[in-house]
C-alpha cells in the first residue's frame, strides 16, 4: 500500500469548503452578468478531437492533455473556451447569417500542461464570452466592458486593463519594409519588452532613426488617447491607421460607459503563444498575482479554419487566479455557519423533522442532529461550530 496515491495529481488541487462556496457563488453571479448582456450559455464537451486544437497557431501540442478513443483517435481535454466555440459556430446546421451576431458564454474548467516546473495549476476555471459574427469597435468595446464588469463582479477592486492592437504592429512592419523573419524576431522582442534586440535588429537592417524610434515606441508606450496621437503622427501605413482608429473608437465607447479609468493602451501587447488574435488584444491585471487574470481579443480567422468566415471577439477571466488574488489581498472566504441545529429526544423525531423543514422553507439552513446529542451537548456543539440557533425537541415546551 506504500505506493497508493492518496494525494491529488501533479498540477491539480482541491478547492476547499469556504473557498469553494465563494467560487460557486461567483460563478453564479458571472453567469447572471452574461445573461443580462444577452449571452447564451453553452457547454462544449470536456474532450475534443486533438485536431481542433492542433491547427497552426492555436495551441502548442505539448500543452494539451491527450488521450485516445477506442478507435485510437487522438483526443484532448478542454484547453480553452474559444476554439470549441469556433468549432461549434462553424458547424451550425441551420445557420442563418441574419441571426448573427452569436453571443455565447461559458464557465468551465480548462486543462493545460502549463509549466514543466510545477506550481501552476493544470486545471482552472475560466468564465468567458464569445461575440461571434460581429466586426468593429462597438463589438470590441462590449467585450472589454464585460471583461471589466466580470472582474468587478468577482470581487476585484484594483483592476487594470491593457489594450493593444495586433494590426498596429503589422502595419508598422509593412511601413518599414520588414521581411517575415525579422518581423517575427522584432514581434517577440516587443512582446518581452526587449529593447536591446529591437535596437540590434534595426541596426543590422540599416533602418533610419525614425523607423527605429517607431519600433522602440511600441514596447514602451502606455497611456490612452495620447499614445494614439503619438503614433498617428508617425505611421503612414493604412492598416496601422485603421488599428489606431479602432483603438480610439474602443476608448470612446468605454469612456461613455465610465470604464476608461480601468483602461490603458499598451502598444506592446501583441499576443503570445496563442497567436490567433487578429485585431484588438487585451489583458487584465490586479495586485498579488503574477499573471494576468483576464485575456481576450479579436480573432477573425479562427472560425474560418473550421469552414465559416466570421469576425469574432471574446475574453476569459480566470476565476482560479482571481480567487488567489482576492485571498492574498485579504478577502475573507470563511463560510457562514449553518443557521440552526435541531436535536431531539427519543420519540420526537417526527416533530424535529417538521421543525427543520419549517426553517428550510424559510430559506434558513438547518442541520438535524443524527448523533442523539443531549440538549447540553447540542448547545456546546452549536457554540463550537458558530451555529446561532439551537432547537431541542423533547415533546414538552422547548
C-alpha grid cell for residue 266? Answer: 499598451
**The only residue of 32, 51, 158, 203 in contact with another protein, by rule CB under 8 A:** 158
Site for another protein in 264-283 (CB under 8 A): 264, 266, 272
Calculate the CA dihedral of residues 60, 65, 69, 73 and round it to 10 degrees.
Answer: 10
Near another protein by CB under 8 A: residue from 32, 288, 334, 354: 288
Rule CB under 8 A: say whether 12 interacts with another protein.
no
Cα 260 → chain centroid = 20
- Applying CB under 8 A, among 56, 117, 206, 330 the residue interacting with another protein is 117
- Contact status: 289 vs another protein (CB under 8 A): yes
Which residues ranging from 292 to 351 are in contact with another protein (CB under 8 A)? 292
Provide the minimum distance between the beta carbon of 390 and another protein in the complex, in angstroms, as a whole number: 46
- Cβ closest to another protein, residue 189 vs residue 366: 189
Choices 59-67, 193-201, 225-233, 274-282 (CB under 8 A): range interacting with another protein: 193-201
Separation of alpha carbons 307 and 198, rounded Å: 37
Rounded to whole angstroms, the Cα distance separating 196 from 270 reads 18
Residue 267 near residue 154 (C-beta atoms within 8 A): no
Strand pairing category for 66-68 and 74-77: antiparallel
- Nearest residue (CB) to another protein, 98 versus 196: 196
Contact with another protein (CB under 8 A) among 1, 4, 98, 196: 196
364 binds another protein (CB under 8 A): no
Does residue number 396 form part of the binding site for another protein (CB under 8 A)?
Answer: no
* Pick 290 or 330: Cβ nearer another protein: 290
Q: How many residues bind another protein (CB under 8 A)?
A: 22
Number of H helices, E strands in the chain: 14, 15
Does position 286 interact with another protein (CB under 8 A)? The reply is yes
Q: With binding defined as CB under 8 A, does residue 222 bind another protein?
A: yes
Place of cell 478542454: 78
Residue number, 158 or 208, with CB nearest to another protein: 158
H or E element that contains 315: strand 312-318
Task: Give the separation between CA 220 and CA 193, rounded to whole angstroms.
Answer: 8
Alpha helices, H only, the chain:
19-36, 50-53, 82-91, 137-153, 166-175, 180-191, 195-205, 209-220, 225-232, 238-256, 302-305, 319-328, 349-361, 375-385
* Angle ∠(162,166,168) on CA atoms, nearest 5: 100
Considering the complex, state which of residue 39 and residue 262 has its C-beta at the smaller distance from another protein.
Answer: 262
Q: Which of 99, 291, 347, 350 binds another protein (CB under 8 A)?
A: 291
- Cβ-in-10-Å burial (0-12, 13-18, 19+) of 306 comes to middle
Stretch of 48-56, 136-144, 157-165, 377-385 lying at the interface with another protein (CB under 8 A): 157-165
Among 44, 54, 195, 241, binds another protein (CB under 8 A): 195
Cβ nearer to another protein, comparing 241 with 329: 329
Tally of CB atoms within 10 A around 365 = 14
In the shown chain, the binding pattern of residues 245 to 264 toward another protein, with x for contact by CB under 8 A and - for none, equals -------------------x
Is the Cβ–Cβ distance between 218 and 172 less than 8 Å? yes
Report the interface residues with another protein, using CB under 8 A.
117, 119, 158, 160, 162, 192-196, 222, 264, 266, 272, 285-292
Amino acid at each position: 500500500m506504500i505506493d497508493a496515491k492518496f494525494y491529488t495529481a501533479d498540477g491539480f488541487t482541491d478547492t476547499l469548503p469556504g473557498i469553494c462556496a465563494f467560487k460557486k457563488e461567483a460563478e453564479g453571479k458571472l453567469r447572471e452578468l452574461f445573461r443580462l448582456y444577452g449571452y447564451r450559455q453553452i457547454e462544449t464537451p470536456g474532450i475534443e478531437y486533438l485536431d481542433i486544437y492542433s491547427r497552426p497557431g492555436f495551441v502548442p501540442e505539448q500543452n494539451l492533455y491527450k488521450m485516445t478513443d477506442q478507435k485510437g483517435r487522438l483526443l484532448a481535454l478542454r484547453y480553452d473556451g474559444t476554439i470549441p466555440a469556433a468549432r461549434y459556430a462553424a458547424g451550425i446546421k441551420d445557420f442563418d447569417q441574419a441571426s448573427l451576431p452569436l453571443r455565447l458564454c461559458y464557465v468551465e474548467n480548462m486543462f493545460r500542461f502549463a509549466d514543466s516546473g510545477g506550481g501552476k495549476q493544470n486545471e482552472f476555471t475560466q468564465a468567458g464570452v464569445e461575440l461571434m459574427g460581429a466586426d468593429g469597435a462597438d463589438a470590441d468595446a462590449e467585450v472589454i466592458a464585460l471583461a471589466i464588469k466580470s472582474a468587478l463582479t468577482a470581487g476585484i477592486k484594483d483592476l487594470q486593463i491593457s489594450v493593444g492592437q495586433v494590426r498596429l504592429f503589422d502595419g508598422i512592419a509593412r511601413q518599414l519594409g520588414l521581411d517575415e523573419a525579422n518581423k517575427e524576431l522584432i514581434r517577440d522582442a516587443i512582446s518581452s519588452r526587449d529593447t536591446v534586440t529591437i535596437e540590434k535588429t534595426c541596426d543590422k537592417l540599416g533602418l533610419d532613426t525614425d523607423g527605429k524610434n517607431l519600433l522602440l515606441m511600441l514596447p514602451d508606450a502606455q497611456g490612452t488617447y495620447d499614445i494614439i496621437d503619438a503614433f498617428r503622427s508617425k505611421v503612414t501605413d493604412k492598416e496601422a491607421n485603421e488599428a489606431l482608429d479602432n483603438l480610439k473608437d474602443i476608448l470612446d465607447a468605454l469612456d461613455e460607459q465610465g470604464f476608461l479609468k480601468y483602461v490603458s493602451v499598451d502598444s506592446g501587447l501583441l499576443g503570445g503563444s496563442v497567436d490567433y488574435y487578429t485585431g484588438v488584444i487585451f489583458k487584465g491585471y490586479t495586485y498579488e498575482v503574477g499573471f494576468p487574470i483576464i485575456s481576450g481579443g479579436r480573432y477573425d480567422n479562427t472560425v474560418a479554419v473550421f469552414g465559416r468566415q466570421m469576425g469574432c471577439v471574446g475574453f476569459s477571466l480566470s476565476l482560479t487566479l482571481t480567487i488567489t488574488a482576492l485571498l492574498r489581498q485579504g478577502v475573507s472566504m470563511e463560510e457562514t455557519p449553518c443557521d440552526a441545529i435541531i436535536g431531539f429526544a427519543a420519540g420526537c423525531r417526527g416533530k424535529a423533522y417538521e421543525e427543520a423543514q419549517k426553517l428550510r422553507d424559510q430559506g434558513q439552513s438547518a442541520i438535524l442532529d443524527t448523533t442523539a446529542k443531549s440538549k447540553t451537548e447540542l448547545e456546546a456543539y452549536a457554540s463550537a461550530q458558530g451555529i446561532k440557533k439551537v432547537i431541542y425537541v423533547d415533546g414538552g415546551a422547548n
